[in-house]
A and B are shown apart, each in its own frame.
Chain A
Amino acid sequence: MAATHVDQELDARGLLCPMPIVKTAKAMRELPVGAVLKLLATDRGSITDVPAWADTTGNELLTSQEDDGTFVFLIRKVAE
């Protein structure tokens, strides 16, 4: 499977809840519909926060994985 094209990367490592979500929301505002944001976070709460945020806001969480203590999310902007 081809790797998903990433339009922007957001490094939220070291930030505590809910700042990864706040930064994500801010970054997504600036992106066009269809764009993909790659979010890096180290706050364990982001494991459940990011899916909940995507569900609440109607954005699409494409992938979620852990890489050596960093949680990596790919999120597609679905609507303004």
Chain B
Amino acid sequence: MPDHEKLVIMVTHGPEDPELATIPFVMAGAAVASDVEVVMGFQGDGCRLVQKGVADSVTAPEFAPLSGLLDSVREFGGRLLVCSPCAKSRGIEDELVEGAEICAAARFVAEVTSATSTLVY
């Protein structure tokens, strides 16, 4: 394997679908714990997951609670990138969790093209 693995995980499902909202964080948690660099990209309703307080209310059956997964991803240095128009249209640009970064398409493209793997949910 390469010296350095980088995984980009794109998240498009929000709290209305707890399972598909949680699985990307499960993968991200496993990846950061495995010394893989992780960038999570939030688009569409996926943005809601990094609105302050929202993760606390999302738990899918038989999955670890989303808030703990989010904390683990951040603790291990995983980065959180949020689609600018997606956040703006939902009025949550100024309500994101600490460390979440607003960005636009070219930045996502740069992250994906420099990654060794990308997962899309």
What residues make up the interface of A, taking CB atoms closer than 8 Å to B? 15-19, 21-22, 24-26, 49, 52-53, 56-57
Asked if A22 contacts B29 (CB within 8 A), the reply is yes
Check A24 against B33 for contact (C-beta < 8 Å). yes
Does B68 sit at the interface, judged by CB under 8 A? yes
- Contact (Cβ within 8 A) B33 A53: yes
Interface residue SS majority, chain B: helix
B30 within 8 A of A: yes
Give the B interface residue count (CB, 8 A). Answer: 16
Q: How far is the CA of A21 from the CA of B27 in the complex (A)?
A: 11
Q: Can you identify 5 A-B contacts, CB atoms within 8 angstroms?
A: A17-B64, A19-B72, A22-B72, A22-B76, A53-B34
Q: In B26-53, which residues have CB < 8 Å from any A CB?
A: 26-27, 29-30, 32-36
Interface centre among B30, B33, B68, B76 (most CB of A within 10 A): B33
Contact of A16 among B34, B36, B63, B76 (CB under 8 A): B63
Q: How far is the CB of B2 from chain A (nearest CB, A)?
A: 12
Given A25-B76, A56-B36, A57-B35, A49:B30 Cβ within 8 A: yes
